[in-house]
Structure 1
Amino acid sequence: MQRKIKQILALFLVIVFQYSCTESYEIETVDYESVLVVESTITNELKPQLVKLSRTSTLENPGILLENNATVTVSDSNGEIYNFSQNNETGFYNSNQPFSAQPNVSYTLNIETQDGKSYSSAAVTLPPTVEMDEVYAERIDDLSANKDGVQVLVNTEDPTGNAKYFRYEYEETYKVVAPFPSPYIAEIINFNPDNYTYDVVLTPREPEEICYSTENSTGINQTSTTEFNENRVFRFPVKYLSKLDAKMQTRYSILVKQYVQSIEAYTFYKIVKELGSVESLLSQGQPGYVAGNMVSVANPDEKVLGFFEASSMTSKRIYFNYEDFGLEKPPYFVECEVLVLDYLDNTTFDNDPNERENIFTYLSYFDYQVLSLAQNTIYRIVQAECSVCTSFSSNIRPDFWED
């Protein structure tokens, strides 16, 4: 998504906001009750929209408790109804057909849980769309802020003054090049535990050297233009990368997403962030609750967490390399250790480890990869992360990628 806070609550802590949050905070458990948690933002993107449903958990047993088998729909003021189905992989609910939130149309989220309880949101409308003027990266060396690396910044302006509240997320993708690619798949056969002998079969393969990893942002990152003379976001920091960050070791790309918010949404995020945010609203463990715009149809006094929002989104992508900022190449993701071990060395009499046993252990249990074999007995091996990039990344090149 890490950044947690604890706050002692009185028995009935009720904070009433407008808007759902993609963040959560943790509080010491005083009195637990199972409360429905709703997290959903529909946007002007034409895509399957998403609704996340869960239940609160205790702090002693944190985690996401999915709300299964619910009936979920979104209705609009034009009479359209969009049905959602639970995704078997994520446990969340996706709309059965792609749709995009439209201007001057209000949307309402309706939920019926498997125990027959019904919940509904307040009607929400789409804020105006504002394009980002610029996403760019600059070298930063600020000792007072303990920053030495690259800062990604955003400039945005709305001359109409209709959009004043903005939230930012990002999706970062970076190229991974394994420093010690292995040309073999190793398999141990004919193992004899009595005399600790075995054979290593090396099958040639194309080295899995180049991969691409993608990570999504966590945390609340938002700003407002209400305190400025101009309705302008200028040099707003979205992402910082240390000069030692391995993500910049080869090539780095970031897709910045800008969400125009309502004042209610902005206020909700702001207060939650001040309380101390962590990864997800779905991991709630708290005796009190943050009420949003979701209510129980039969019992308005029932506690419901979260919020349903419509938000306009625009995005921009940039690419850069560490050389673009005069930086030295950052270190790799892990410290690579190439070992040279001799199968014929099967004793410890020379105050040296039993290298035959070590070869077996590293290949069998720690997924080390064979780089080369000399004289049919001497193996050069290394950790999988340093040799086979698919051990922690993907060798599928993204469609958008540019070298």
Structure 2
Amino acid sequence: MKTRILFTLLFGILLFQMGCTEPYEIETVNYENVLVVESTITDELKPQIVKLSRTSSLEDTSVLIENNATVTVVSNNGDNFSFSQDNDTGFYISNQSFRAQPNTSYTLNIVTQDGKRYTSSSVVLPPVVEMDEVYTERIVDPTDDKDGVQVLVNTEDPTGNSKYFRYEYEETYKITTPNPSRFIANIKNYNPTTGTYDVELIERERELICYSSEISTGITQTTTTELNENRVFHFPVRYLSKLDPKIQTRYSILVKQYVQSVEAYTFYKIVKELGSVGSLLSQGQPGYVAGNIIYEANPDQKVLGFFEASSMTSKRIYFNYGDFGLPKPPYFVDCEVLVLDYNDNTTLDNDPDEREALYYYITLKNYQVIRLAQGTLYTVVQPECGLCTTFSSNVRPDFWED
């Protein structure tokens, strides 16, 4: 995961620039190449993940994946879980599925390709706390410029043993195009001299319906330490504007609740306060955040990141915009519907050469044919508006409910 770090305070420079009219472009000062570690093992039986990268300068937008490392997680009861790097993501994934067990401590060990050894503090799985409820509310808040739907969580731990919670979500939404394409269009027998060609139209068996999924970014967490009761109530995890096209047809959200240790909660809290946006350590940081991982040969050397064990529970809900009396939100893009006549192949009538335009839109812009009239009038739209598979998937998720 990419991290950009600024290790030098800029207060003096900023104060000086306040009296100037020319903008000041911030550049990296004293850049350090630091290992970045992000990993949360949970009590889910699944392949666990460790993410390794290197810090980059503020000016560098590339992701510096740490390749060819040896990664293991060991427990105090003698279990040893090895990880292998995934070719597609660059993440390190456990070679076997496992879950973090109660009353067991775990340690992350890393050996980089240059032989440097890193180790984490031992971590223990916090108690499991089931989410009581995931629900939605219509929200209109002019002071916060919000008008839409809020997804909220209620959770309670009567034992008082768990006080720190972090939330993530996976959202999935159904997509139907406003101008569904009825045909697969192929250009054949094109003659560049005369500009003539044939349009082969193959009728589709059915209208395609698509489903897109996205994973949350950023750090969303809360604590009950300052409350009279150990209860998370009406906690917001996702806001959707009434104009968000994701709720145009049907929307589902899977909310995940992670019970954290006080050390993990504090680390994430500091990272967020320093300006993290996206996911852990994904944006520029104005300073160094100490985690629970050290370089064995020199514990004073900076290592960025945290190894965490967390109990996780999840709940999924579905809703439609109509459930809240909202009007249908706009589509993802503004759709342009064109009617082009193949027989119009001249500009002498002060009108574009529609035959040439039809060829251009179908072959170069992938416009979709949605209608054919009188044998020569083709109605076309841009691909996103006629065929959802141009930006989504028509594979229906196993969990989906209509």
Q: Same fold (TM over 0.5)?
A: yes
Alignment partner of 1:228 is 2:227 = yes
Alignment partner of 1:119 is 2:118 = yes
Within-5 A mapping of 1:13-24:
none
Residue number in structure 2 paired with 1:353: 352
TM-score with structure 2 setting the length: 0.92
Cα deviations across residues 233-289 of structure 1 (Å, max 9, x unaligned)? 110011111111111111111111011111111111111111111224464666953
Aligned counterparts of 2:386 and 2:334: Cα–Cα separation in 1: 12
Aligned amino acid, residue 343 of structure 2: L
Residue number in structure 1 paired with 2:332: 333
Within-5 A mapping of 1:107-256:
107-256=106-255
Secondary structure at the counterpart of residue 56 of structure 2: coil
Residue number in structure 2 paired with 1:66: 65
Mean Cα deviation higher: 251-260 or 188-197: 188-197
Aligned amino acid, residue 390 of structure 1: T
Residue number in structure 2 paired with 1:14: none
Identity value in percent: 73
Aligned amino acid, residue 347 of structure 2: T
Aligned amino acid, residue 387 of structure 1: G
Residue number in structure 2 paired with 1:40: 39
Aligned counterparts of 2:373 and 2:320: Cα–Cα separation in 1: 37
Whether contact under 8 Å (1:243, 1:327) holds in the other structure is yes
Alignment partner of 1:376 is 2:360 = no
Whether contact under 8 Å (1:29, 1:287) holds in the other structure is no
Higher RCO, Cα 8 Å, sep 6+: 1
Aligned amino acid, residue 119 of structure 2: S
Alpha-carbon shift at residue 78 of structure 1 (Å): 0.3
Alignment partner of 1:297 is 2:296 = yes
Cα deviations across residues 127-170 of structure 1 (Å, max 9, x unaligned)? 11100111100111111111111111111111111111111111
Shift of the 64–309 alpha-carbon distance from structure 1 to 2, 3 Å rule, reads: same
Aligned counterparts of 1:318 and 1:34: Cα–Cα separation in 2: 43
Within-5 A mapping of 1:100-111:
100-111=99-110
Alpha-carbon shift at residue 195 of structure 1 (Å): 2.7
Alpha-carbon shift at residue 393 of structure 1 (Å): 1.1
Shift of the 362–150 alpha-carbon distance from structure 1 to 2, 3 Å rule, reads: same
Shift of the 396–279 alpha-carbon distance from structure 1 to 2, 3 Å rule, reads: same
Whether contact under 8 Å (1:5, 1:277) holds in the other structure is no
Aligned counterparts of 1:130 and 1:370: Cα–Cα separation in 2: 53
Aligned counterparts of 2:173 and 2:243: Cα–Cα separation in 1: 14
Secondary structure at the counterpart of residue 385 of structure 1: helix
Whether contact under 8 Å (2:337, 2:379) holds in the other structure is yes
Secondary structure at the counterpart of residue 290 of structure 1: coil
Residue number in structure 2 paired with 1:310: 309
Whether contact under 8 Å (2:5, 2:56) holds in the other structure is no
Alpha-carbon shift at residue 5 of structure 1 (Å): 10
Unpaired segments ≥5 residues, structure 1: 12-26
Residue number in structure 1 paired with 2:18: none
Aligned counterparts of 2:107 and 2:154: Cα–Cα separation in 1: 32
Mean Cα deviation higher: 205-214 or 120-129: 205-214
Aligned counterparts of 2:161 and 2:271: Cα–Cα separation in 1: 24
Whether contact under 8 Å (1:174, 1:212) holds in the other structure is yes
Shift of the 366–285 alpha-carbon distance from structure 1 to 2, 3 Å rule, reads: same
Mean Cα deviation higher: 285-294 or 245-254: 285-294
Alpha-carbon shift at residue 7 of structure 1 (Å): 6.5
Within-5 A mapping of 1:269-308:
269-281=268-280, 283=282, 289-308=288-307
Aligned counterparts of 1:82 and 1:355: Cα–Cα separation in 2: 64
Unpaired segments ≥5 residues, structure 2: 11-25
Aligned counterparts of 1:280 and 1:243: Cα–Cα separation in 2: 25
Mean Cα deviation higher: 308-317 or 296-305: 296-305
Aligned counterparts of 2:30 and 2:283: Cα–Cα separation in 1: 13
Aligned counterparts of 1:172 and 1:328: Cα–Cα separation in 2: 21
Aligned counterparts of 1:282 and 1:201: Cα–Cα separation in 2: 52
Residue number in structure 2 paired with 1:17: none
Aligned counterparts of 1:137 and 1:287: Cα–Cα separation in 2: 36
Shift of the 39–266 alpha-carbon distance from structure 1 to 2, 3 Å rule, reads: same
Residue number in structure 2 paired with 1:78: 77
Residue number in structure 1 paired with 2:51: 52
Cα deviations across residues 148-205 of structure 1 (Å, max 9, x unaligned)? 1111111111111111111111111111112222121111122222232222221222
Mean Cα deviation higher: 43-52 or 387-396: 387-396
Which aligned segments of 4 or more residues in structure 1 are displaced greater than 6 angstroms?
4-8
Aligned counterparts of 2:255 and 2:286: Cα–Cα separation in 1: 35
Aligned counterparts of 2:336 and 2:193: Cα–Cα separation in 1: 30
Shift of the 273–5 alpha-carbon distance from structure 1 to 2, 3 Å rule, reads: farther
Secondary structure at the counterpart of residue 300 of structure 2: coil
Secondary structure at the counterpart of residue 362 of structure 2: helix
Secondary structure at the counterpart of residue 358 of structure 2: helix
Mean Cα deviation higher: 98-107 or 329-338: 329-338
Aligned amino acid, residue 103 of structure 2: N
Cα deviations across residues 290-320 of structure 1 (Å, max 9, x unaligned)? 2211111112122211111001110011111
Mean Cα deviation higher: 283-292 or 184-193: 283-292
Aligned counterparts of 1:209 and 1:242: Cα–Cα separation in 2: 26
Secondary structure at the counterpart of residue 360 of structure 2: helix
